[in-house]
Chains A and B, each alone.
Chain A
Amino acid sequence: MARYLLLRLLDLVPTVFLVLTLVFIAMRILPGDPALAALGANADGGQLEAFRERMGLNDPLWLQYVHFLWDAVRLDFGNSLMSNIPISTLIANNLPHTVYLTIVSVALGLFIGIPLGLYAATQRNKLPDNALRIYSLIGYSVPDFYLGAILLIVFSLNLGWFPINGAGEGFWDGLHHIFLPALSLALLKSAFLGRLTRTSLLEVLGRDYVRTARAKGAREGRVIFRHGLRNAMLPLSTGIGISILATLSGAVAIELVFNRPGIGRLLISAIQERDYPVIQAGVMMFATFVVLVNLLMDIVYIFIDPRIRMKS
């Protein structure tokens, strides 16, 4: 098992390397001069040249690439061009908020989605099942930033039940601040996970081993949870992984709508200000996040499925 995990971790190296290379190439292809962007239109030729020399932009491309990789390995992303704050500090300040938003919204999505899916599966083609179908349709169709804006207007601005922006201080205040943003992201998640729970569970409940469980004398509750849901967890955990990853794109918009700190908002403002090193670091953070979530899912599979455990 430890060996399997180690191998999976080693698998990540080429992926991260590829991402780094793509980021490097993208940054060199992007239109615009980083020196000009950093120093502004008023800088004279000498200043620009001095900047390029200092940042190593005059080095041959391969040498820039080697420097870039070496810095990335040491997690040294340099400083922001705009604020001159070390990027590692920016990330350390913003990343926890995005991770927190991801956890809370996925948890909400699970708490809403899985019971809905379970109930719909047991009431197949009856009212609850059709209700879930409509709920999912709405969940898929309403964009999260739109829902976020509506929630913000209704519950924060008009009713004043929730704070309007920021992330809050301390646990309870933080929870108070994160509720609406997380809920905005959770609608789609619960719609997706609800449908997935229903489909996976119905598929599993039709299997022969579920009939065996009934023939043993297991009651419906036990059949559904012990034999059904546990087996449905295999496709479901993949869905949860997808749902976690989807939070990234959702967080970009939601952090803007609710004016919350986070990697998404950091990245958006960096793009607006052509703050190349920050964009570079932000894209890498996202890529690393994707890769780590995939690894996490692989670990979850091992715990759920003895067949994978055996092979490793």
Chain B
Amino acid sequence: MATTRLLIAALGGEGGGVLTNWLVAAAAAQGLKAQATSVPGVAQRTGATTYYLEIADEADSATHPVFALMPVAGDVDVVVASELLEAVRMAERGFVVPDRTFLVSSTHRVLTMHERIARGDGARDADSLMQTAERASRDRFLTDFAAIARKSGAALNSVLLGAIAGRKLTPIPAEALRDAIEAGGIAVARNLTGFDAGFTAASCLERSPDAPGETPAASKTPVSTALEERVRALPGEAREIARIGVARLVDYQGPAYAALYLDRLAPFADEGPLCREVARHLAVRMSFEDIIRVAQLKTRASRLESVRREIGISEDEPFELVDFFKPGIPELADMLPPRLGRALNSWAERKGIRETAHFGMKVKTNTILGFGRIWLLAKLKPWRPRSLRFAEEQAAIDAWLKLVAEARAVSPEFALQTADLARLVKGYGDTYRRGQETYARVVEDMVRPVIARKDTVEDPAAQLKGAIAGILAAPA
């Protein structure tokens, strides 16, 4: 190919323009004819944006080639994408084709707004994006360039330039590309580090192995042998989850509460997959997030450790930490004995202030007094079983378990989906209450009629699964 046609797909603010300028400047320094253009516009504000370059080799540079200003489907030699979905978008537009295009793309995801606002997991399946990117391209270099950039402390664009150089994707020699960074004169040392990291990755790796994910640390709370024995009696599929559940509930309320968990699980022990899913959701439901729980989580040593990690400091460096709480009347009522709590709620309802009266608190958790306030709340743990919220949650849990048990009569799959309904109830305050309403509606409309055999739905499990997915996908 005499002239290399190269398309860069980036997100606004990622330095795609700078990457383009490096390439153009390097070509000019080599006496190679090149042209670049773009449509940044308002896409600068984190939207998707593209840059298009045509770079002539030495022979062509001696003539007067007419360069095009826009990429054409099927005619692009190299596509460089700073993010996986954008790489696939380039393929969707026909710019990455299996008989021509070399694809350089980072495999990390920056989720789009539409993917992020779902109530559940709205992200496009990364594996299938990866397969599409592979299938669509002639040859490829796909790796997590963002991770390389992070590790080397450089910006993504310099790493990508290094990768372009390492794979010799343009007529411009690698040294010239490196020199362009120096000639650019901005953050030279950092960008050269990034370039070298990208270059090295390109030179020695076909495709980087997936970074080993951190295995979630199970709670360190010791579980008594008696409880452990009961966990071991559960079906194999459910054991791991149940063990985590038991540990969590011992930490949450105590061994007796964890024993209650196992009691509640026992009726489902004859069916592995269902037992596992009930074990999962039941543990989450039984460790509901009331004020005491939040206080407990916020005052752990491990929590302070993760805050330090987040801002990159060691234990002896001073820092400031502010937590935001805004309990309202329902949260206060939650902590009172049921009769008193209900009375408070209905009084507030009559006054019309149940949803509006709140106590906003910004607590400086790095100070002794601030930490102490939350720490004291966490100490209310023994009081919890006497609270209104506890009573209500237990009743709701029992009702849900009863429903799952009844759903088994319809089909094992239907029971599984009924158990999965627990996902609809999450969050705090308003969000939590709206979740409860949605849950109640689905139970009345889609679960009870099926159990009562009033509805003759073809595949009730699939229907329920679809409904749950739909609710979680819809931004409320």
A and B bind: no
